[in-house]
Amino acid sequence: MSLAPSRPTPRPAPATAPFARTAAVLSFTALLATGQLYGVIPLFAAMEDDWGAGRTTLTWMVSVFGFGYVAGFLLFGPLSDRFGRRRVVVWGVAATTLTTALVATAPSLGSGLALRALQGLTIGAFPPVAMAYVGERVEPRRRLVTLTAMTTGFLSAAVLGQLAAQGLAATVGWRAFFLFGAVAFAVAAVALHRVMLPDPPVGGRSPLDAYRAMPALLVSPRLRRLYLATLTVLGSFVAVFTGLELSGVDGLLGLRAAALPVILAIPFLTPRLARLPGPHRVGAALALAAGAVALAGLLEPGTAVLAVLLIALTGGIAIAAPGLVDTVGTRAGDARGPAISLFTAVLFLGASIGPQIAGPLTSHGFAPLAYVLAGLLLSGSLLAASTASAARR
């Protein structure tokens, strides 16, 4: 597990990773990683009592983690080209054991924000590097299913992370959420080391090559509209759940749990969904999500109808995210590693901005927030669908 770079030697053909074990461990770690992003939302009330900070201010506990997360994507994705995918993932997740435990010790909001940013930075080593690993080491016909399983882990964290945090805060206090999380990350680090294939020799590649490639990828005609669409995906998703929390909607526990079945069903539907070209699939999924959010604002429904609309929103997001990463990775060619690092950075940059959109807009009720988010999702839908012609060039 040394971080010393491999010596330049002839590179053998990479072995194929075991599908079931790889998908299971990566999905579990994805659940833990993003569970730390979403899990803070139900803790606002307890943190408010402990620290004396207002709930709108406490939304920064979500955002600073997200900003650290994004910085980790951009830092560690290219570094994994130099030091190897498994090394970077395992060391990053192991370090998150410590940074997560430290958040539980925070005596004030200021220190909590600093530690949350550090926590986001260390676990930022996981998503882009794991996605690049899947693209290189998983059998091609299993790749989309594995990416979808990982995405399911990221998205189910929106439900399971909040449910775990809500339950722990009610029984043993909000700090326990981070202590239990630290133990889980330690388990994940060991599992990743055992399941991921050893890193092949990487031939002395410089991370600077990947960093230099990123600005060109952002403005590439084949990718730039996909990146803009990506910004709306988790940004809207996190903003909806933050807005519901800030609005004091009744039955939040049931609303969070209602979305879980559709998240878990998406990987099983992936072979059928894959028949539709990526841009069209993403466009349709984001349009579905936009319609669900718009109806939630327009109808201001009761708990049962709101649960159905949240299921539709969650389904749209769960289809769109893996469709985007698959399309971006395919179009990036040899620049797959930095392109996916950028994708995950943009995805969670949106998630970091989402709570700051929700904060001011929910002061006027949930409806204004819903209309703004529906417009953003519809824009993302149109942007993604409009890239279909780029695949034929």
| HSE-CB for 187 with a 13 A CA cutoff | 10
User: How many C-beta neighbours within 10 Å does residue 268 have?
Assistant: 11
- The SS3 assignment for 5 reads coil
User: How many C-beta neighbours within 10 Å does residue 191 have?
Assistant: 18
**According to the model, what pLDDT value does residue 10 have?**
44
Distance between CA atoms of residues 76 and 352, nearest Å: 19
| HSE-CB for 124 with a 13 A CA cutoff | 32
Cβ within 8 Å of residue 271, ≥6 positions away: 145
List average pLDDT for each run of 10 residues in the chain, which is 393 residues long. 48 70 93 90 89 85 90 85 89 97 94 96 91 85 82 81 89 94 97 91 66 80 90 89 79 75 77 80 94 89 84 89 84 77 84 84 86 94 84 50
Distance between CA atoms of residues 201 and 8, nearest Å: 7
Instruction: Identify which of 69, 74, 160, 52 has the alpha carbon closest to the alpha carbon of residue 116.
Output: 69
Q: 């992370």: which residue's tokens?
A: 161
Cβ-count burial of 219 within 10 angstroms (0-12 exposed, 13-18 middle, 19+ buried)?
exposed
**According to the model, what pLDDT value does residue 1 have?**
47
CATH number for the domain running over 19-197+207-386: 1.20.1250.20
Q: Are residues 38 and 241 in contact, defined by beta-carbon separation less than 8 angstroms? A: yes
**According to the model, what pLDDT value does residue 52 have?**
86
Q: Are residues 43 and 169 in contact, defined by beta-carbon separation less than 8 angstroms? A: yes
Q: Sign of the CA dihedral 151, 83, 76, 282? A: negative
**According to the model, what pLDDT value does residue 9 have?**
45
- Dihedral angle over CA of 272, 277, 279, 283, nearest 10: -40
Distance between CA atoms of residues 103 and 183, nearest Å: 13
**According to the model, what pLDDT value does residue 194 have?**
94
The model's pTM is 0.77
Q: 């900070």: which residue's tokens?
A: 53
Distance between CA atoms of residues 368 and 361, nearest Å: 6
Instruction: Identify which of 61, 114, 31 has the alpha carbon closest to the alpha carbon of residue 355.
Output: 61
Q: 């239990």: which residue's tokens?
A: 180
Q: What are phi and psi of 386, to 5 degrees?
A: -70, -10
